[in-house]
Structure 1
Amino acid sequence: MEMLCRDRYGSFPLSVFKVWSCTMCYSYLFRDSMELRADMPKPQLVAINGSRYPPGTVFYPDIQNTTIARAVCNSLDDFNCGRWTSCCRRAVECCEEQNHDPPPSFEEDEYCPRTWDGFGCFKDTRRSGVAVINCPTYIEHSNPAADATKICTENATWFRDPASKQEWTDYTNCVLMQNFMTLYKVGVACNAISLILLLPSCVIFMAFRQLRVQHRIQLHTCLFASFIFTNGVMICWDSLVYKDRLEKPLEESVMHINTVGCRILYTASRYAWTCNFVWMFLEAFHLYRLIVHAFKVPKSLKLYFIGGWVSPLIPVVSYAIIRGVRKDGSCWVHHAGGFEWLIYTPNLLCIMANFFFLGSILWILLTQLQSHPNEPSSYRRALKATFILVPLFGIQLVLVIYRPPQDWTGSFGYEILVKVVSNTQGAIVALIFCFLNGEVHSNIGGVIPMTMKRGPLRADIVASNSMSTQCTTDVARTHQVRNGGGSLTDNKANYIALSTIDKDTPNGMYNRK
C-alpha cells in the first residue's frame, strides 16, 4: 500500500504528494512572480504569457523526475532553482518521516497530527502545545538561527488563520527586516564617511604641486579615486535597489523587474571593487619595487594607470557578458556558480601578492635598516609600518573573505563587520595618508598667513609629523643602506618627499631641503 502524506490541505498518496508539494513550494516561494503559476486546486504549474514556454503549457513538478525538474528550473535562475528544489526535497523527506516515525504514546484526540505545512515539517504535538522548527534556509532572507512555531489548540487541531480558514504557521521571526534595514543604514553611513574624507584628500593632493608631481601621491590619488567610485556606486546601489527590495513586494521591486539600469549598476559595483584590489596591489608593488631596486624609480606611471583602470575591465566585462547570455534575473545579485571566479580570482591574487609584499617590506625594516641612536628601534618602525600599510594594501579584508554558515548565531554581527571593514577602508587611508600626514601639513602650512603660524597651533602642527611620512622615510633610508650610503636627497624622484617639517629648525621655520 502506498504511503500517505499529510499537509495543510489533507492527506495524499506519496506519488500525488510529491507533485502537490512541489507545486505549492513554487507558489509559496515566488508568489506568482515567475514565469509559471500554480493552477490551484490542481497539482500543476502553468506557463503564462511572456514565458519561454507557450502559454498554457502544463508541468507536473516531480522533483525526482529530472526532465521535469530541469524544465521548471529553466524558468528560474540558479539561486531560486536551488531554493525550490530544496523545498521539494524537504517535503519528500517529511513524508518519509511521517510514515517511518513511531506513533505517539498518547490518545488520538490528545494531539495534533504530524504534517507538512508547505515550508516545514512538524511532529505530533500535544494539544495546547507549540511545535517549533528552525527556519528553513530556502525562505527568502530567512534567518536559520530563528524559529518558526505552529500552535496546537485545545481541540487537538492545528491553529487556523481566521481569514483563510487554513492551518497557519508563524514564520514572522524567520525574516527580521529590521536587521536588513540596519545593514542598509550602516553601509550607507560608512560609505558616506569615506566620501567625506576622500574627496577633500584628493583636492589637497592635486592642489599642491609639490604633492601632485610625486609618484607616490599620484598612486594615492588613483587609489582614493577608486574608493570614491566604489563608495558612490554602493550608496546608489543600496539606496536604489537594496532599500527598494526591502520596502516593496517582490513583484514590484526593481530587483525583480531586472531593469537594464539595475544590471549596469551591479556591473559597475563589481568593476569598482576590482579596481580597488588592483590599485591596492599597485601601491604595494610600487613600494616593494623601490626597495628591491633602490633608486630605480619608473620615469612614468602610464603602465600603472592602464593596469589600474583598464585591466579590471577584462574580467568584469567577461562576467557581464556571461550573465547577459544566461539571462540571469534579480539584477544578477544571485550567485552565478563557477563564473563568480572570474571576479574572485584576480581579487584574491592581489591580496595574496600584497601579503608577500608586506612581509618582505617588514623583513627589510627589521633586518637591514640601520638605527640611529635618536630614532625608534627597528621593531617600533616595523610596527608603525604594519599599522600604515595594512589598510593601504587591503590586508584587513581577509577578515571578511570567509562567509560563515547562515545558521551561525553571530551571522548578523558578521554582516555588520563586513560593512564596516569593507566600506571604511577609504576613510582610514585618507586619514593616515592625508589628514595625519606631516608632509601635507607642511604644504598647507605654507599657505597659512604668518600671523596664524605663531602661537600654540603652530606647535601642534610641528608635532604632527605623521607616521606615514616617518615610515616611508624609513623605506627610503633602506635604499641608502642597501646601496652603501648616499644622501637621501640625491634623487628628486625618490619615493618620499623630503620637504617635511624639521622640528629642530629655530623659530619653527621650515627646512626646505
Structure 2
Amino acid sequence: MGWTNSYSILFKLLELGLVLGVHLSDSSSRLEADEVDKVLLRHQLKAYWMCRLNVTQYAKGNDSCPPEFDGWGCWEATPAGQVAKIECPSFGSLAEDKNFVTRTCHTGGKWAISGIDGEEDGEYLRCQLKKISANHKKILENLLHEMDDIKTSPYAMSESAQEFERCINDVLSSPGPTDKLYCPGTFDGWSCWNATSAGDVVYVPCPVFVTGFHPGRYAHKVCEEDGSWFLHPETNKTWSNYTTCIDKDDLSFRDKINKIYIAGYSISVIALSVSLVIFFYFRSMKCTRITIHKNLFVSFIINNILWIVWYTEVIKYPEVLFSNKTACQVLHVLVHYFLLSNYMWMFCEGLYLHTLLVIAFVAEDKIMKWFYILGWGSPIVVITCYAGVRSSYPEDTVFCWIEESRFTWILSGPVCIFMLLNFIFLINIVRVLVTKLRAVNSPDTHQTRKAVRATLILIPLLGLHYIITPFRPEPGSPEEAVYEPISAAVASFQGLCVSLLFCFFNGEVIALIKKKWQQTFTTWGNDTNRNYAVTTMSTMPTTPSHHDREDTTAV
C-alpha cells in the first residue's frame, strides 16, 4: 500500500561504532541474587522507561524541579514552591484503596529528599509498598543511573523487550564471579552480555529483529584487563561491536532503493509543477475535470516533497531517528496525511468520471464542494484518529514512528475501501465505453484498441496499480530483489506518469500550446519584420545622389 518504506540505511550508524546503550551494572552493585526481587525489578525498570517516554520536555535553567523517576513514581517537572501529586504505583503496592503521593519542589528547583524505599520522609507510607532489601535498592539505583545514557528504550520493540526482561532475570540481578576480576553483565539495548573475565572477548548471536543484520553472524564485546568494558574512542561509552552483523549487500540494496525513491519523487515534482502551471495559465481549460486534476496534482506535489525530505533528512541521518524529536514525528503525520489526500483525490477522479456516465446532468458547482470535503477534509479525520491512537502507546512512537505499527490499519483500511470502489468504477466505465463504441458500428479491433487505451490511462489516474504493493515478499527472499525496485519505481514515478497522460500527452493541452506557440511566433515574426524595416530605413545612405541633391537644394 505504500505505507512501509525501506529504512535499513539507518544502520550505517553502526559502521561508525555508535550503538544504543551503555553497561547496566557495576561490580559494586553485584550482590546476592536471593535478596533481589526480580519481578519487582522488572516492573520498576519498565516504569522508568514509561516515565522517560511520557514526561514533558524540561527546559534547564528554569526555577523548577526536573522530571524524575525515583524507583516508584514518575514526577513531572514542577515549579519551585509547588507540590506534585501522583498515584501510588500499580506495582509493589499492598494498599487496597487508591491512594496518592505528594512531593514538594523547593526553591532553587530541588526536590524534597525521598528514598526510593519510601522510608526517609514517609511519602510512600500510605501506598503500603512491598519492602525491598538494601541490595535491591542499590542495584536499582545503579541501573537507573546508568540507563540515563541510553537513548532508545529496550521496550521500543517487543523482541528487545523480551531480551531485556530475560537479561534482568538471568544476568543483571545475579551475582558475578567472586574469585577473579571481571566485567559485569550488561544490556546494550539489543543484546544481553554475561559477566566476562578481564582480558576476554564475549560473543553473542546478532539480534534477529534488527533489519539489516545477518542472523547467522555474531557480535562481540571486549572486556579490558582492568575489568571494564571497552570504551569507543569517539563516544567514550561502552561499545558492542555489531559491525560484523551488518549485511553490507542488503545495506547497499536498501540504499539503492532509497535513491530510486528520491529520484522518482524529484522528477515527478518537476513534471507535476510544470503541468500545474499549464493548467493555471490556460484559462480556457477551466472546468470541473481540470479542477479535480489540479487538486490531485497539488496533493502529489506536496506528498512527494515531504517524502524527499523524509528520505534525505530523516532516514539518511540515523541520529535523527534515535533522537525521535517532535519535528520528525510531525513530518511522519504530514506525509501520511497528504498520502491519504492523494488517494482520496484519485477516488474523486473515478467518482466524477463514473458520475458523468451514470447521471445525464451534474450540478458541477455542488459536486465540487463534496470533492473538496472528500479530498482534503476526510483525510484529516483519519490521520487525527491514527495519530491520537498511536501516540497513546509509547512503544509505537520511537524512531520517528518509522516502524510498522499495529494501528496502520487505521490508514490502510479506508484506502483499501476507496481503491476497491475505484476498481468498480473502472470496470463500469470500460463497460459503458465498449457499449458506446459498438453502438457506432466501429470495427471490433478499433473498439478493443480504444477500450484498452482507456483502461491503461485510467489505471494510474485511479491509483489501481497500488493493488499489487500489499503483497510484499518476505525480507531477504529472492522475490524481494524484484519487488522492491518495482514498488519504488511505481510509487515514486506515479506523479510523472499522471502528468504525462493528463497534461503533456493530452490533445487539448497540446492544441492550446501549439496555438499559443504559433501566436507567439507570428507576433515575434511581425515585430522582427517591423524592426527590420525601421532599421533599413534608418541605415539608408545619407549622401544624396545627383537628383537627391537637387531635390534637397530645392527644399
Q: What TM-score, normalized to structure 2? A: 0.56
Cα deviations by residue, 1:132-187 (Å, 9 ceiling, x for unpaired): 98x64312x2356x742699xxxxxxxxx9x9999999423378433332222211
**Rg (Cα) greater in structure:** 2
| Residues 1:318 and 2:385 aligned together | yes
| Residues 1:82 and 2:150 aligned together | no
- Separation (CA, whole Å) in 2 of partners of 1:402 and 1:29: 33
Change (3 A) 1:243 1:412: farther
Determine which of 430, 439, 446 is the counterpart of 1:362.
430
- Separation (CA, whole Å) in 2 of partners of 1:168 and 1:184: 23
**Residue identity matched to 1:186:** I
1:104 paired residue number: none
Change (3 A) 1:326 1:150: closer
The answer for unaligned runs of 5 or more in structure 2 is: 1-17, 31-40, 56-66, 73-90, 93-146, 169-189, 193-202, 221-229, 233-237, 523-555
1:178 paired residue number: 252
Is this contact kept in 2: 1:227–1:426, CA < 8 A? yes
2:9 paired residue number: none
SS in 1 for 2:157: helix
Displacement of 1:78 in angstroms is 9.8
> Alignment identity in percent?
27
What is the Cα-based RMSD across aligned positions, in Å?
4.3
Displacement of 1:363 in angstroms is 1.6
Is this contact kept in 1: 2:351–2:425, CA < 8 A? yes
Displacement of 1:57 in angstroms is 4.0
| Residues 1:286 and 2:360 aligned together | no
Q: How many residues align?
A: 362
Is this contact kept in 1: 2:19–2:239, CA < 8 A? no
**Residue identity matched to 1:148:** R
| Residues 1:31 and 2:99 aligned together | no
| Residues 1:416 and 2:485 aligned together | yes
- Separation (CA, whole Å) in 2 of partners of 1:347 and 1:445: 39
1:206 paired residue number: 280
Change (3 A) 1:386 1:78: farther
Displacement of 1:270 in angstroms is 0.8
Is this contact kept in 2: 1:205–1:221, CA < 8 A? yes
**Residue identity matched to 1:282:** C
2:500 paired residue number: 431
Is this contact kept in 1: 2:350–2:422, CA < 8 A? yes
1:469 paired residue number: none
| Residues 1:340 and 2:330 aligned together | no
- Separation (CA, whole Å) in 2 of partners of 1:132 and 1:332: 28
Determine which of 290, 293, 302 is the counterpart of 1:217.
290
Change (3 A) 1:165 1:278: closer
Change (3 A) 1:296 1:39: same
Displacement of 1:321 in angstroms is 2.1
Is this contact kept in 1: 2:257–2:484, CA < 8 A? yes
Please identify, of 223-232 and 40-49, the stretch whose mean Cα deviation from structure 2 is larger. 40-49
Displacement of 1:391 in angstroms is 0.2
Displacement of 1:373 in angstroms is 4.3
Please identify, of 415-424 and 374-383, the stretch whose mean Cα deviation from structure 2 is larger. 374-383
Displacement of 1:254 in angstroms is 1.6
Displacement of 1:417 in angstroms is 2.3
| Residues 1:195 and 2:269 aligned together | yes
How do residues 475-494 of structure 1 correspond to structure 2 at under 5 angstroms?
A: none
- Separation (CA, whole Å) in 2 of partners of 1:168 and 1:271: 36
- Separation (CA, whole Å) in 1 of partners of 2:240 and 2:374: 61
How do residues 98-117 of structure 1 correspond to structure 2 at under 5 angstroms?
A: none
SS in 1 for 2:392: helix
Change (3 A) 1:166 1:386: closer
- Separation (CA, whole Å) in 2 of partners of 1:138 and 1:342: 25
Please identify, of 391-400 and 417-426, the stretch whose mean Cα deviation from structure 2 is larger. 417-426
SS in 2 for 1:31: coil
Displacement of 1:292 in angstroms is 1.0
Cα deviations by residue, 1:58-89 (Å, 9 ceiling, x for unpaired): 9xxxxxxxx89xxx9xx977983312145479
Determine which of 421, 436, 455 is the counterpart of 1:353.
421
- Separation (CA, whole Å) in 2 of partners of 1:304 and 1:178: 43
Higher normalized contact order (CA 8 Å, seq sep 6+, divided by chain length): 2
Is this contact kept in 1: 2:348–2:371, CA < 8 A? yes
| Residues 1:242 and 2:315 aligned together | yes
Change (3 A) 1:79 1:197: farther
Is this contact kept in 1: 2:299–2:338, CA < 8 A? yes
- Separation (CA, whole Å) in 2 of partners of 1:217 and 1:167: 57
Cα deviations by residue, 1:353-374 (Å, 9 ceiling, x for unpaired): 1111111111222234324548
Change (3 A) 1:430 1:204: same
- Separation (CA, whole Å) in 2 of partners of 1:354 and 1:345: 15
- Separation (CA, whole Å) in 1 of partners of 2:167 and 2:511: 70
Determine which of 355, 369, 372 is the counterpart of 1:305.
372
| Residues 1:257 and 2:323 aligned together | yes
**Residue identity matched to 1:278:** M
**Residue identity matched to 1:325:** S
Is this contact kept in 2: 1:195–1:228, CA < 8 A? yes
**Residue identity matched to 1:80:** A
**Residue identity matched to 1:350:** F
SS in 1 for 2:217: strand
- Separation (CA, whole Å) in 1 of partners of 2:239 and 2:492: 48
Change (3 A) 1:150 1:238: closer
Determine which of 377, 391, 394 is the counterpart of 2:446.
377
Displacement of 1:413 in angstroms is 3.9
**Residue identity matched to 2:426:** L
